[in-house]
Amino acid sequence: MYKSEYLNRVYAEVERRDAHEKEFLQAVREVFDSLDLVVDKHPEWESHGLIERFVEPERVVQFRVPWVDDAGVTHVNRGFRVQYNSAIGPYKGGCRFHPSVNLSIMKFLGFEQTLKNSLTTLPMGGGKGGSDFDPKGKSDNEVMRFCQSFMTELYRHIGQFTDVPAGDIGVGAREVAYMYGQYKRIVNRFEGGVITGKGLTFGGSLARTQATGYGLCYFAQEALKNLKNDSFEGKKVIVSGSGNVAQYAAEKCQQLGGTVVAMSDSQGYVYDENGIDLPKLFDIKQKRRARISVYADEVPTAKYVEGCKNIWKVKCDIAMPCASQNEMDEKGALCLIKNGAIAVFEGANMPLTPEAIELVEHSGLIYSPGKASNAGGVATSGLEMTQNSMRLSWTFEEVDEKLQGIMKSIYKACYDASVECGHPGDLMLGANVAGFLKVAEAMLAQGIV
Ligand code: NDP
């Protein structure tokens, strides 16, 4: 499969051990495809068992999360924390609450997070956590009891110098606040740097809520300018999803002159050729926590279509998948190509299947992997930790300016690595190689640990 015998051997072993972990194997294959171009230049990687160590998480914690619903019925969910790699800093990565959560998804996210965090220029290792709990349809009190129970086990594995969780799918400001409250109560310390995405009244950072979506657009802006001498101005854009990442990607895109014509949730999508009315969408999603179909009920120019995967049939210039893994397959990619799209910028983690990536890259569209283009969220979490340590708060503009600088340097690191590998503009290759080289150097320096 790979030119490198070493990578073939390591991959065969990962596949033997984790045969049933399909998302994890997919993520490893994607990274190995890139490392295959550079591994021969680094014989020390094999002699130090570097890649064997890199693919194996340093620690995986799995635990029971019992909680009682409003009717007095006991439920038991499964909690996870994957502490993937601490070579360049404390483990850092969000928690996901979604019924689909399992060990494979946690490991794929932790593995990707390690490379993403390396690209941010900040000292953060990689981790990820979560539970198969579904916050949808639960009361605030039920969500609070669940978060408290989750943290009652998690607290012993985290800390500002050990492992710093944050939000992800199903974990927003409400859930982070409940988890932080329980942590503080157990350890009896106001240790703000233990979790990020906190509320502004207790150590959160301005612009963290917007950071992943805004950062995605800053990265896209850089790529459009550098690779096509172009911009968002006048472009039709699809932003899939309608959660945290999608909402702020859509907002920044419109500020930069693009028109967001379609957005979705897991049930279907809305199309509005005038451009999605974002104050309306924010009201439906943030205040009412309602389905996206409500948007079409209330906005006369909009149309609702069942089935979220059909969103890629809408004609657009730029696609920004911001919902979940494998949400765009080859059918979706073919629609984009047929409709003349020029770029796909990933806001979610691994939203394109390998077949979709191949089609998009071979058709000459700009393609950026989530580990590079969605890294603005974790980068701003890093800035939240810095502010917590310094015991001060920066203004929105200060954080936003730092975020823009970080996204520019991530783009440059990816582009430069793609040039060094002889494939200028292959941002997936560039992200994997640039992200890995820093972690590899730190791991080699620290000995066999
Ligand atoms: P949210 O929970 O806020 O929103 C998720 C959105 O995606 C919702 O619209 C949801 O629809 C939809 N969705 C979830 N699962 C699926 C699915 N299986 N198929 C189709 N749609 C789905 O999550 P975020 O916006 O925080 O995260 C979105 C993506 O971005 C994830 O991949 C996450 O890992 C990644 N990410 C998030 C960061 C952050 O800072 N929040 C940072 C970096 C990456 P519904 O409401 O119907 O479930």
Fold for 210-373, please state it.
Answer: Rossmann fold (3.40.50)
Q: How far is the CA of 348 from the centre of ligand 1 (A)?
A: 7
**Mapping DSSP to helix (H, G, I), strand (E, B) and coil, where does residue 342 land?**
coil
Alpha carbon distances (Å) from 281 to 176, 251, 263, 400, 429: 23, 11, 10, 23, 35
Distance, first Cα to last Cα, the chain: 29
Of residues 208, 330, 320, 326, the one with CA closest to residue 263? 320
Q: How far is the CA of 285 from the centre of ligand 1 (A)?
A: 12
**Hey, CA dihedral for 166, 107, 65, 188, is it positive or negative?**
negative
The pLDDT of residue 320 is 98
Give the separation between CA 20 and CA 419, rounded to whole angstroms. 36
Q: Which atom of ligand 1 is the closest one to the Cα of 374?
A: 43
The per-residue pLDDT string of the chain (449 residues; one tens digit each, 9 = 90 and over) reads 899 999 999 999 999 999 999 999 999 999 999 999 999 999 999 999 999 999 999 999 999 999 999 999 999 999 999 999 999 999 999 999 999 999 999 999 999 999 999 999 999 999 999 999 999 999 999 999 999 999 999 999 999 999 999 999 999 999 999 999 999 999 999 999 999 999 999 999 999 999 999 999 999 999 999 999 999 999 999 999 999 999 999 999 999 999 999 999 999 999 999 999 999 999 999 999 999 999 999 999 999 999 999 999 999 999 999 999 999 999 999 999 999 999 999 999 999 999 999 999 999 999 999 999 999 999 999 999 999 999 999 999 999 999 999 999 999 999 999 999 999 999 999 999 999 999 999 999 999 99
Give the separation between CA 315 and CA 338, rounded to whole angstroms. 9
Fold for 59-191, please state it.
Answer: Rossmann fold (3.40.50)
CATH 3.40.50.10860-classified regions of the chain: 59-191
The pLDDT of residue 391 is 96
Which one is catalytic: 92, 128, 184, 313?
128
Give the separation between CA 333 and CA 13, rounded to whole angstroms. 32
CATH 3.40.50.720-classified regions of the chain: 210-373
Amino acid letter for position 140: D
Give the separation between CA 69 and CA 139, rounded to whole angstroms. 9
pTM for the full model?
A: 0.97
Distance from chain centroid for Cα 56: 20
Q: Is the CB of 281 under 6 A from ligand 1?
A: no
The pLDDT of residue 172 is 96
Q: Name 305's bridge partners.
A: 269
Of residues 410, 384, 436, the one with CA closest to residue 216? 410
